[in-house]
Structures are given as structure tokens and as C-alpha cells.
Amino acid sequence: MNHKLSLKHHCIETEIKKRYNIALSEYFKGCGDPAEEIEARIDIFKEALETLDFGLLRSRHPELRGKSNASVALYRDESGRLHITIDGKDIEPQIQI
């Protein structure tokens, strides 16, 4: 599943935190999408928050700093690896060590 991120008002890290908190809220309220879909969103956003080097991503890709109209998405490939696209182009996700 492709998760489109809006970076018009804030950076990628803040957007992912926001989306993670929304998914948690939906899960515990039991409303909206099926629990499996919400759990999948929680999982991808949590992994992104725990593993991505947001500082490095923002320094290498100005579109991820916020105030951007770029089309940005977060997704997993078939092997389960996180990927980020900017305007349809895959970028290296920059995993923290």
C-alpha cells in the first residue's frame, strides 16, 4: 500500500508522526477501516519513525523539509523494505544505525 504524505506544512518526520497518531486513534476507537488495514498503517509508520534517519533525508532531499508541493509517498516492497518516493522517483530511505 502506498501512503501519500502531505509536506505542504511540515517535514516528513512530523507528517509520519501525525499519521501514526491518527492510525492509533482510529484503531482504539474502532471506527473507519478494518482493523487489519489500520494495523498495517500503524506498523509502517512505527517502523519509519524507529528506523529512518530523518535528518539525513531532509539534508539530501529538500522536498522532505516541508513547505513542498512534491508528491511524496511511503511504501513497502514485496520483501518488506521501506521505500520513499518523491514525484514518483524512489530515493534511498537512509536507515539509522
Domain ranges of the chain: 3-91
Using pLDDT thresholds of 50, 70 and 90, give the confidence band for residue 92.
confident
The predicted pLDDT at position 68 comes to: 95
C-alpha 54/C-alpha 91 separation (Å) is: 13
Asked if pLDDT for residue 28 goes beyond 70, the answer is yes
The predicted pLDDT at position 94 comes to: 74
DSSP single-letter state for residue 10: S
Average pLDDT in the chain: 94
Using pLDDT thresholds of 50, 70 and 90, give the confidence band for residue 56.
very high
Least confident span in 28-37, 39-48, 68-77: 28-37
Is there a contact between 82 and 93 (Cβ–Cβ < 8 Å)? yes
The predicted pLDDT at position 31 comes to: 74
For residue 35, which amino acid is it?
Answer: A
